[in-house]
Amino acid sequence: MQIFLRNWETTDAPRLYELAKSEKVALLTGFSPHESIEKSGKIIQTILHKKGHYAIVLKQTNEIIGNIGIEEISPEKEDEHWKSGELELGFWLGEAYWGQGYMKEALEVALDKVFREHNAKKVWCAYQEENKQSQKFQEKAGFVYHHTKEMQWNEALGYFYSLVVNVMTKEIYEEVRSVY
């Protein structure tokens, strides 16, 4: 493995800002581009410090290259498909690190946590309909299409988009793992 996961530290704010100020990374993931090191520090304290968010670190340089989060669906996000307490994966890599297989490795570690530590039966993963790179990535990783949520309002971005929701069940996970 070329990467490892670790908890975010407040001192990671400058590096987070460096990576997350990119409009491409932010908009594809669904957050607004970071505006300053101070704001990145606040995001670490309020969001990334929450249980389940991990910095993806390149072993060779010890540098953070992205984030992967295993979040519980909150009661406000509950709907006919999503139940409160179920797990959802979210992730992004800094632009310079796309297309090199790093997220595949990070996902492997995260899925192990989902299905072995949390003992979950399934995990959700969604992407904005236009995000073809995440679509390809998720499909290659074994996620399966489940439903599409039309006209989702993103407060941070200030626009509507369609969210394509994929799922990976424990059965799919075990099948995919046996092929590795």
Ligand X SMILES: CC(C)(COP(=O)(O)OP(=O)(O)OC[C@H]1O[C@@H](n2cnc3c(N)ncnc32)[C@H](O)[C@@H]1OP(=O)(O)O)[C@@H](O)C(=O)NCCC(=O)NCCS
List residues binding ligand X (CB under 6 A).
Answer: 25, 28-29, 91-93, 98-104, 127, 131, 133-134, 136-137
- Phi, psi torsion values for 96, nearest 5 degrees: -65, -10
Nearest to 59 by CA among 3, 137, 113, 131: 3
Q: Which is nearer to ligand X, 44 or 106 (CB)?
A: 106
Least distance from ligand X to the Cβ atom of residue 48, Å = 15
How many angstroms separate the Cα of 99 from the Cα of each of 19, 128, 133, 134, 154?
16, 19, 9, 11, 27
Q: Please, which residue, 50 or 136, has the CB nearer to ligand X?
A: 136
The residue whose Cβ lies closest to ligand X is 99
In the complex, the smallest distance separating the C-beta of residue 118 from ligand X, rounded to whole angstroms, is 20
Select 10 or 160, whichever has its Cβ closest to ligand X: 160
E-only strand ranges, 77-158: 87-93, 122-128, 144-154
Q: How far is the CB of 158 from ligand X (least distance, A)?
A: 18
Residue 24 C-beta: closest distance to ligand X, Å: 7
Is 133:28 a contact under the CB 8 Å cutoff? yes
Q: How far apart are CA 104 and CA 116, in angstroms?
A: 18
Residue with Cβ nearer ligand X (44 or 56): 56
